[in-house]
């Protein structure tokens, strides 16, 4: 992977950890001063963010390690494993919040020092928004699943913090139940976020194909070679920052081996330009002996035109 992309990953993970520590410290103080269960909800969310960010930091550092004799495909799957762990962390925090909110609904209590609570949540929104800008840049350049998962639950924090502000203001004007109700809404949204993170992590661990658009771009590259008669067994997947592309080219069986190899080399270079961190494996087959189901031919047979 390019140095710039590795640098973006490190910046994003360090910024995430630093932001999480600051947010936890502020919200802990605000909760102790106000007694607000919605601030406690936000605090628990930030505590989970801290654990997840620390886990991300370790996972990204490990995933950036080069391939070795025991891990010939690299260490990229550390990232979706971290995403799966994040989903478990986030789900646990949601369960805790629901239990605490139900208890507070049964035994309501007025919120104190509302002004301090609102101020802390406003600062939290600003810090979270700045972090999301850093993470967005890293995601655009690296497509990291771990950073994407981290950014997802920080994005939910913006909504969380806004609902806490609403809950604090409603409580100030006598709507004591609003504090617990908002906390429960936050918990439900946290569950939803955890499910999305977990789903994406599992899909990567199961080697889901790259997107249809990327696969079509690969086919377009192959079609530009006039001597290629077809392609079959196109397989793609992603592991951390590295994409893997495997395919079989169908060529005239009379071509010299050196000539066929040169064609494959040209296609491999173009795919590597499209996917800079990809590992590309191309096999050449004589077109007159290939009979595969998973096959792409051009021009298409007459009945398909």
Domains in the chain: boundaries: 3-205, 212-304
Instruction: Please check whether residue 193 is in contact with residue 153, taking contact to mean a CB–CB distance below 8 angstroms.
Output: yes
Q: Do domains 3-205 and 212-304 have the same CATH topology?
A: no
Instruction: Please check whether residue 149 is in contact with residue 20, taking contact to mean a CB–CB distance below 8 angstroms.
Output: no
Pick the CATH number of 212-304 from 3.40.30.10, 3.30.450.90, 3.30.70.1350, 3.30.1370.140: 3.30.70.1350
Q: How far is CA 287 from CA 94, 199, 227, 265, 277, in A?
A: 57, 40, 11, 18, 30
Q: Which CATH architecture has domain 3-205?
A: Up-down Bundle (1.20)
Give the strands of the sheet with 242-251, arranged side by side.
279-286, 242-251, 230-239, 295-297
pLDDT at 17 over 90: no
pLDDT for the residue 299: 47
Query: What are the pLDDT digits (tens) for 79-136?
Result: 778 778 778 877 877 777 777 677 667 666 556 667 777 888 888 889 888 888 888 8
Instruction: Please check whether residue 43 is in contact with residue 28, taking contact to mean a CB–CB distance below 8 angstroms.
Output: yes
Cα gap 146→55, rounded to integer Å: 9
Query: What are the pLDDT digits (tens) for 48-88?
Result: 767 776 776 777 677 767 777 777 677 777 777 877 877 88
Query: What are the pLDDT digits (tens) for 281-293?
Result: 999 888 776 555 4
pTM higher than the cut 0.85: no
Cα gap 155→167, rounded to integer Å: 19
Cα gap 172→163, rounded to integer Å: 14
pLDDT tier, 264 (very low <50, low <70, confident <90, very high otherwise): very high
If one compares 104 and 259, the residue with the highest pLDDT of the two is 259
- Which residues are 235's β-sheet partners? 246
Q: What is the mean pLDDT of residues 173-201?
A: 77
Instruction: Please check whether residue 250 is in contact with residue 263, taking contact to mean a CB–CB distance below 8 angstroms.
Output: no
Q: What is the mean pLDDT of residues 31-35?
A: 80
For 36, other C-beta atoms within 10 Å of its C-beta total 30
């Amino acid at each position: 992977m390019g140095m710039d992309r590795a640098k973006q990953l490190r910046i994003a993970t360090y910024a995430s950890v630093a932001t999480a520590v600051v947010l936890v410290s502020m919200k802990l103080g605000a909760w102790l001063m106000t007694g607000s269960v919605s601030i406690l909800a936000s605090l628990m969310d930030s505590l989970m963010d801290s654990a997840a960010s620390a886990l991300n930091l370790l996972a990204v550092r490990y995933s950036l390690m080069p391939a070795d004799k025991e891990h010939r495909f690299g260490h990229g799957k550390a990232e979706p494993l971290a995403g799966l762990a994040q989903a478990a962390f986030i789900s646990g925090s949601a369960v805790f919040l629901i239990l605490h909110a139900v208890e507070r609904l049964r035994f309501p209590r007025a919120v104190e020092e509302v002004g301090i609570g609102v101020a802390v949540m406003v600062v939290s929104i600003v810090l979270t928004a700045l972090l999301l800008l850093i993470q967005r840049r890293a995601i655009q350049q690296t497509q990291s699943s771990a950073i994407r998962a981290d950014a997802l639950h920080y994005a939910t924090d913006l909504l969380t913090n806004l609902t806490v502000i609403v809950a604090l203001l409603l409580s100030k004007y006598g709507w004591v139940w609003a504090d617990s109700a908002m906390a429960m809404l936050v918990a439900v949204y946290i569950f939803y976020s955890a499910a999305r993170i977990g789903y994406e992590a599992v899909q990567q661990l199961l080697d889901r194909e790259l997107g249809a658009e990327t696969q079509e771009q690969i086919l377009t590259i192959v079609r530009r070679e006039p001597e290629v008669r077809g392609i079959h067994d196109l397989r793609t997947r992603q592991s951390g920052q590295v994409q893997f592309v495997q395919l079989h080219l169908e060529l005239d069986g009379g071509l010299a081996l050196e000539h066929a190899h040169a064609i494959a080399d040209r296609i491999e270079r173009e795919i590597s330009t499209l996917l800079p961190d990809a590992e590309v494996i191309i096999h050449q087959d004589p077109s007159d002996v290939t009979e595969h189901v998973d096959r792409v031919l051009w021009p298409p047979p007459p009945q398909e035109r």
